[in-house]
A and B are shown apart, each in its own frame.
Chain A
Amino acid sequence: GAGVSQSPSNKVTEKGKDVELRCDPISGHTALYWYRQRLGQGLEFLIYFQGNSAPDKSGLPSDRFSAERTGESVSTLTIQRTQQEDSAVYLCASSLDWNTGELFFGEGSRLTVL
C-alpha cells in the first residue's frame, strides 16, 4: 500500500481479554517498529523487527506483550490479559532498512481497556 496501515483504528475491550493489533508496513520496508503513546505523552519504544527477526525486545513492558512478523511484511502486536494501564495509542512505523533514518508512521490503534 501507499502508507503504513494499522487495524483496528479503535478497540474497546474489557479487562482480562486478549487483543491483537495489526500493522501493514510500506511495501519493501524491511524494518518495522512498534511504539506506545499514552495520552498527552511522548512515544515509548516497544519492539522493532529487521525482516522477521526482533533483535531488540527490550521495550516490551511485560510478558503479556508479544509481537511477531511474517513474510517480512505484516506484524501483529498481541496483548494478553489486558489491564487498564494498557490503554494507549499503539503506533507502528516502518523504514526502508534498519540503518535508514526516516520512519513512516501509521495512524495508530487506540486501545481502551475498561
Chain B
Amino acid sequence: SQQGEEDPQALSIQEGENATMNCSYKTSINNLQWYRQNSGRGLVHLILIRSNEREKHSGRLRVTLDTSKKSSSLLITASRAADTASYFCATNTQETSGSRLTFGEGTQLTVNP
C-alpha cells in the first residue's frame, strides 16, 4: 500500500477560491514534500517540511504537518487557472533516509476560470 495517500483524488474549484489537499502516511518520516505535475510533464518541487516543523509558507502555498496524526495538508490560496495540475505528497522515511521518496497517488486539481 502507498506510504502517502492524498485526499481528495480530484478537486474542482473556481478561480480565486482556496484549494486544500490532504496527505496521510503510515510510518515515521524525516520530511514530507509536495510536488506539482502538469499534464505530460515532469514533477516540480514545491515545498519541503521537516518532521520537527508544523507549518511552512511559500508564496500562496501553506503546508502543515501533524506527526501525531501522520498527516499533512497543502493549501493554495487565491487559486489561478494556471494552478491546474496534479499535486503529490512524498515522504522521506527514516528507514530509508535520503535513499528514496515514496509518492502518493496524487490529487488532480482543476481551477476553472
Name A's B-contacting residues (CB within 8 A).
Answer: 4, 31, 33, 35, 41-43, 45, 48, 50, 55-56, 59, 91, 93, 97-108
Question: What are 18 inter-chain pairs, A to B, with CB distance below 8 A?
Answer: A4-B42, A31-B98, A33-B100, A35-B103, A41-B105, A42-B88, A42-B106, A43-B103, A45-B100, A48-B99, A93-B42, A93-B43, A97-B98, A99-B97, A103-B101, A105-B44, A106-B42, A107-B41
Q: Nearest Cβ distance between residue A41 and chain B, in whole angstroms?
A: 6
Number of A-B contacts (CB under 8 A): 60
A100-B105 in contact given A91-B42, A107-B42 (Cβ < 8 Å) = no
Chain B residues, CB < 8 A from A48: 99-100
A5–B35 Cα distance when bound, in Å, is: 18
Q: Which of A50, A102, A107: most chain B Cβ within 10 A? A: A102
A101-B31 in contact given A91-B42, A106-B42 (Cβ < 8 Å) = yes
Q: Known contacts A42-B103, A101-B48; can you find 16 more A-B pairs with CB under 8 A?
A: A4-B42, A33-B101, A35-B103, A42-B2, A43-B90, A45-B100, A56-B96, A56-B99, A93-B42, A93-B43, A98-B99, A102-B45, A103-B45, A105-B44, A108-B41, A108-B42
Chain A residues, CB < 8 A from B44: 105
A33–B98 Cα distance when bound, in Å, is: 11
A98–B30 Cα distance when bound, in Å, is: 13
Chain B residues, CB < 8 A from A105: 35, 42-44
A106–B43 Cα distance when bound, in Å, is: 8
B33 adjacent to chain A (CB < 8 Å): yes
A102, B48: Cβ atoms closer than 8 Å: yes
Chain B's closest residue to A45 (CB) is B100
Which residues of B, 2-52, contact A by the 8 Å Cβ criterion? 2, 31, 33, 35, 41-45, 48
Q: Nearest Cβ distance between residue B52 and chain A, in whole angstroms?
A: 14
A55–B97 Cα distance when bound, in Å, is: 12
Chain B's closest residue to A110 (CB) is B40
Chain B residues, CB < 8 A from A99: 97-98
